[in-house]
Amino acid sequence: MQEMTKQNLVLFKKKNASHLFEGKIKEMEGVLVEFFQTISDDAGDKATIIFSFIQIHGKLTQQELRDLTKFSFSTISTSLNFLVNVGSIVKNFIPGTHKYEYFLKKNHVLFIYKPFSSLLEEWENYEQILIQYKKHLMNLKEEHPIQAEFLIRRINGYLNFVECQRRSIDGRKRNDFFPEYTLNLLNNNSLIEFSPKIANIEQKMYEYRESCLSEKKTLNNKIIGYFYFRRNLTQQRLVQLTQNSLSAISKSLKELEKTGVIKKFPKKSSKKQSIYSLDYRSLTNLNIIIAADTRIYSYYIKFCDMLNELQDPTTNLGNLTGYSIIKNKLEEIVKAINEFRSNTEFVKKTKKELEEFILQAR
């Protein structure tokens, strides 16, 4: 009887540790977590790591996520709330307990937090807000011709990005492209300074951006938001705009420069501050998407090799905990990558159309 109790205890522990893998399966799980982080804009971000495990396992509790990530319950709870709020996952109460399970939505799309249709809807909502502010700026052109035209063209960058995405995702062409060239209004050695009226419009657009778009509220995204409207900025100016420390701004700028989102111009003299720039808003966003897609494709051969290893009877991996979960997820990703390629080609096509327009419109 005592022996039977021990067996039951072992079975109970095994059942309740089905989310904990070992050996080669654990290694493969690690590669998948690395993959989901690599293709994210926020690799290493705890919400991204948590989302990675939910994508692999399908559904997890907070306790299971703690077992897998070693994060605090506070961190896990905050990250899960973010993922629920942006529509990436849903939670379901487990009857007879005080716990919730968190799992992927039925219309979940691999590689991104939200389905393309939802993202496009979100972008188009913000597009309509910017169009209204663009009209306000048109009325200020007589009073502030350069400032108003500059901000209009920065808005055009976002409108062009949304138009490219619209054409890529569902084949709709709503608008022609708008001019977004600004070097004739502001050279690379200068910062734009807005009058109170125009600065107020900029701030409202910035605030709407933060509230409308389901981006993570990171310092990097906050900084990018100001670059979208101002093109050129210095570290000190960003300290004033974001109310963050110089060291934090410096760290973020290095990360954004390393990933090619912004570029740094050489100092003209030792007394002058370095100027950082994000030139074409539309092309920058499209390049970020294409770079993320390229990172996705770079794992294709590795995943195919992992699948072959799992399916090889001589490896004896079939009886290990998590075998089916990892195998099914790899098959899903390999299939999705093949389907995803066509979307990337559409993005590249519309980007080329936009580049040709920009070249002609200078």
| CA-CA-CA-CA torsion sign (183, 188, 190, 192) | positive
Structural domains in the chain plus CATH codes: 40-104 (1.10.10.10), 114-362 (no CATH)
> What radius of gyration do the chain's Cα atoms show?
24
pLDDT digits (tens, 9 = 90+) for 109-149: 565 545 566 778 888 889 999 999 999 999 999 999 999 99
Tokens read off for 145: 């011709």
Residue bearing tokens 């994060």: 71
Cα 5 to chain center, whole Å?
49
Contacts 24+ apart (CB under 8 A), 145-152: 146/185, 146/186, 147/192, 147/193, 147/194, 147/195, 147/198, 148/198, 149/185, 150/182, 150/185, 150/186, 150/192, 151/194, 151/198, 151/201, 151/202, 151/229
Q: Is there a contact between 177 and 351 (Cβ–Cβ < 8 Å)?
A: no
Q: Which amino acid is at 157?
A: G
Task: Report d(CA 289, CA 347) in Å as an integer.
Answer: 8
Averaged pLDDT, groups of 10, the chain, 362 residues long: 46 60 95 87 75 93 95 95 86 90 73 63 90 96 96 96 88 88 91 95 90 73 93 95 94 92 82 89 90 88 96 92 94 87 86 92 76
Whole-model pTM over 0.85: no
